[in-house]
Chains A and B, each alone.
Chain A
Amino acid sequence: MDQLFNIAFLSGLMGATMRMATPIIYATLGEILTERAGVLNLGIEGTMLMGAMTGFLVTFSSGSLWLGVLAAAGVGMLLGFLMAFLAVHLGLSQHVSGLGITLFATGLAMFVYRLHFGSPTVPPIIHPFNQISLPLLSRIPLIGPGLFTQYSLTYFAWLLIPALSFLLYKTHLGLKIRTVGENPVVADTVGVNVSLTRTLCLVIGGGLMGVGGAFLTLAHQNMFLIDVIGGRGWVAIAMVIFGNWDPLKGALGALIFGFLDGLQLRLQGMGIAVSFHLFLMIPYLLTIVALISVSRKASIPAALLKPYRREEKGG
């Protein structure tokens, strides 16, 4: 039991928390952006997988890690655009469009991977990102080494959180996005292009999701496995709700998830017989509780899930 309060343990746990949370932070931020604009993107899991695969493939072929990240973002943006085409321009059911994209993207990712690599006995690997220790900060006692020795993609994610907050709350674009998600009629009335705004959010959100997926194959691990995403996309959907559609709070939820994930790995390693599955259930149960209380509040973007078509009813 004393082991738990060992500084090295805590430090390692903090570092792991950040690491495990990173892909979820990317995915959550991306989903918050699209849901704030009024679109539920259930294609997130498939998009992350395509991002993971594409990043890995491009890095493997080109030798450049950042090129892989860029490619992952690009693929994510394309899938986001496909979602926009189906759910915004055609106005198809957002639920089904998103699930269709997850199905399609999952299949495509596996298909292309197989095509390129076949089925070798030893999975191909790449040289992943190295963790970077931030100069002064990593010397801070207790939290320094763990918290400030991370991958650059993680530091990036940290910067994205306040950036998205700033975008949403302090810019005209953010106001447009929020209005489109709350009341597209109002937005249309003042001349905001609802379709374009939603499409933009889906594309950028998709890009973020792609990067989140690539983190798992280019930094966290160095290979691509079929279950590399492992449901993190769905966790992100839950974290958006848990965080009340706010970037900061959503990231907090991702951190909790990362914490629990990191903790259970360490507890396993120490032979503590607490079922890690029960641990991992906690964020989902918390989110359900959050859902119940949210449904009574007005935090949910009011126009979420409704396709917008002008002139549907008569005068």
Chain B
Amino acid sequence: MIENPQPMVRMSSVTKRFLDVTANNQVDFQLYPGEICSLLGENGAGKTTLMNILFGYYTCDEGDIFIKGEKIRLSSPKDAIARGVGMIHQHFALVPTQTVLENIIIGTATRKTFFLDLKRARRKLLELEKRFGLEIDPDTHVWTLSVGEQQKVEILKALYRDVDILIMDEPTAVLAPAETDDLFRTLKILVSEGRSVVFISHKLHEVMDISDRIVVLRGGRVVAERKTRETTARELANLMVGRELADSLDKKKVAPGRSVLEIQHLTVLNDKRLPAVTDLNLVVRQNEILGMAGISGNGQRELSEALFGLRTPIRGGININDTPLRPGDPSSAIKLNMARIPEDRMDTGLLMDLSVEENMILEDHGCGDFQTCGLIKSRNIHHYTDALIRAYNIATAGRDAVTKSLSGGNLQKVMLARELAGNPAVIIAAQPTRGLDVGAMEYIHRRLLQERERGAGILLISEDLDEVFSLSDRIVVIYEGTIMGEAAPHDVSREQIGLWMSGVAQ
């Protein structure tokens, strides 16, 4: 390989904001010919956003992009494709009801081709397939293909368009090990011909396996750049996860009581009908916080949805205080006094277009204090809501304020106020401080600790290791739907947890 070659891609001081979140902050990124470069980082670090900018799907607010030395203004993916950039997203951009061939040739019409020349397209496709070892029958419908095969279609789609910069977003997230080997073989063939690949992932051992160079992103910024052979998994885990000091919380020593939540042999399928949670067993006791660490996408969502009653497990059971939860029935969880804080608070847990008060009574509007014979007792509800707004210090114009006018931290406070109001026996908190500022975070941490003291059993599912370490009495790590390991916070190092989170069993 030539030393110090011209970069294929140079992104300079790229910044991208969405409303009040800065997804990419002054990012500098280069990509060289013939290399596989990995973008490593946790969810929300800004990897996908950065690449979406390179692909022309998003436009950056600040910064410049140079492709093959030329400064480019990308206004749509069409421009990027024309310059040889292709991107394969985590959720495949394929039309399931159409055939492989149709999916590949969509948009490749030129002025001369009005009629679909399927014969010529098929010939070109079969040639490509043979060259790169990606054998798929062009006339099968995409919905019949396995995930690995669909990914091959996506790669062929890019190759058909003579792409020389290929971006792959979490490509191995849905692959079996054999398919992953296949993929890596294909990628090596691609770069041997001078192309470049950007490999976005959070899976450490795979990143170390396949890439030549690794760029680590955290919180929207580039924190490090390493040549793969010059670094170790431990170093990368550290960089990914950060070493901020945990704020000191007043965590009292309380002896845990009897079990309040028991999960037995739980198996839950995801939307693609593949197992996301496999034979999971867990116990949470009174006066205890069990912290579940893990990178998003390893089954936490499906687990919490099963607990919330939003998803029916195909095997196993959930007991609260020895009473079984009715699968797929949210009201069962509510009746059994489970407090639920979903990770997707705005879409799943709150009625954003309604008032704070109307959100406060979502689960309790049927109880005797708030209604008789179906007639609402407004005054009681007003008092209840006002008291909660005061108790939780929710910054809002009042109980009639539209919920979507509240800031993220205050939205979460509304959620907490509602869920914790009945002195719940069990609290499931999924990513409770995601996207919140330090002050809100602190408040929520304190509340959770108070509940723990009161006697609740809390399952805290979080990507934030600091949070997990400072709040939990015990820590488990979830990876690909199973528990990788369990330990008490003072008995285990962050590096170890980081490794477990990345699928490295030791």
Contacts and interface: CB of A to CB of B under 8 A. Distances in A.
Q: Tell me, yes or no, whether A and B come into direct contact in the complex with CB atoms closer than 8 A.
A: yes
24 contacts: A170-B116, A171-B115, A172-B109, A172-B113, A172-B115, A172-B116, A174-B116, A175-B105, A175-B106, A176-B106, A178-B95, A178-B98, A183-B93, A186-B93, A186-B106, A298-B97, A302-B97, A311-B58, A314-B18, A314-B19, A315-B16, A315-B21, A315-B23, A315-B58
A105 to B, nearest CB: 33
A315 B46 contact: yes
A311 B115 CA distance: 32
Contacts of A298: 96-97, 143
A192 B108 CA distance: 9
A80 B105 CA distance: 29
B73 to A, nearest CB: 16
Contacts of A172: 105, 108-109, 113-116
B106 A192 contact: yes
Given A175-B102, A298-B143, A315-B23, A190 B107 contact: yes
A217 to B, nearest CB: 35
Contacts of B98: 175, 178-179, 182
Interface in A124-174: 170-174
Given A172-B109, A182-B98, A315-B49, A190 B115 contact: no
B57 interface: yes
B18 A187 contact: no
A192 B115 contact: no
Interface in A172-199: 172-176, 178-179, 182-183, 185-192
Given A178-B98, A188-B76, A315 B18 contact: yes
Contacts of A299: 97
Nearest to A188: B77
Contacts of A176: 106-107, 109
Contacts of A183: 93-95
Nearest to B161: A190
Contact of A315 (B52, B107, B109): B52
Interface of B: 16, 18-19, 21, 23-24, 46, 48-49, 52, 57-58, 76-78, 81, 87, 93-98, 102, 105-109, 113-116, 143
Contacts of A185: 93
Contacts of B76: 188, 191
A110 B71 CA distance: 58
B406 to A, nearest CB: 17
A41 B18 CA distance: 34
Residue among A170, A178, A315 with the highest chain B CB neighbour number at 10 A: A315
B23 A314 contact: yes
A170 B21 CA distance: 45
B196 to A, nearest CB: 20
Contact of B94 (A174, A186, A192): A186
Contact of A314 (B21, B109, B116): B21
A202 to B, nearest CB: 21
Contacts of A190: 77-78, 81, 106-108
A186 B109 CA distance: 15
A179 B109 CA distance: 14
Residue among A176, A179, A311, A314 with the highest chain B CB neighbour number at 10 A: A314
A247 B177 CA distance: 44
Nearest to B93: A186
A191 B21 contact: no
Interface of A: 170-176, 178-179, 182-183, 185-192, 298-299, 302, 310-311, 314-315
A113 B105 CA distance: 49
B97 A182 contact: yes
B95 A186 contact: yes
Contacts of A170: 115-116
A125 B18 CA distance: 62
A315 B49 CA distance: 5
Closest 6 interchain pairs by CB? A191-B78, A190-B107, A314-B18, A315-B49, A172-B109, A315-B23
Given A171-B116, A314-B18, A315-B49, A191 B107 contact: yes
Contacts of A186: 93-95, 106
A176 B103 CA distance: 10
Given A186-B106, A187-B107, A188-B76, A315 B48 contact: yes
Contacts of A310: 57
Contact of B114 (A171, A182, A302, A314): A171
Contacts of B46: 315
A12 B94 CA distance: 49
Residue among A174, A190, A302 with the highest chain B CB neighbour number at 10 A: A190
A298 B223 CA distance: 45
Given A189-B77, A192-B106, A179 B58 contact: no
B107 A182 contact: no
A176 B87 CA distance: 19
Contacts of A191: 76-78, 81, 107
A19 B57 CA distance: 50
B158 to A, nearest CB: 10
Nearest to A174: B116
A76 B77 CA distance: 34
B23 A175 contact: no
Contacts of B24: 315
Contacts of B107: 176, 187, 190-192
Nearest to A170: B116
A72 B366 CA distance: 58
Nearest to B47: A315
Contacts of B143: 298
A182 to B, nearest CB: 5
Contacts of B16: 315
Contacts of A302: 97
Nearest to B102: A175
Nearest to B101: A175
A252 B236 CA distance: 64
Nearest to B18: A314
Contacts of A187: 106-107
Residue among B23, B77, B95 with the highest chain A CB neighbour number at 10 A: B95
A310 B76 CA distance: 10
A190 B48 CA distance: 18
A187 B106 CA distance: 8
A301 to B, nearest CB: 9
Contacts of B97: 182, 298-299, 302
A177 to B, nearest CB: 11
Nearest to B81: A191
Contacts of A189: 57, 77, 87, 93
B116 A175 contact: yes
A185 B91 CA distance: 11
Nearest to B115: A171
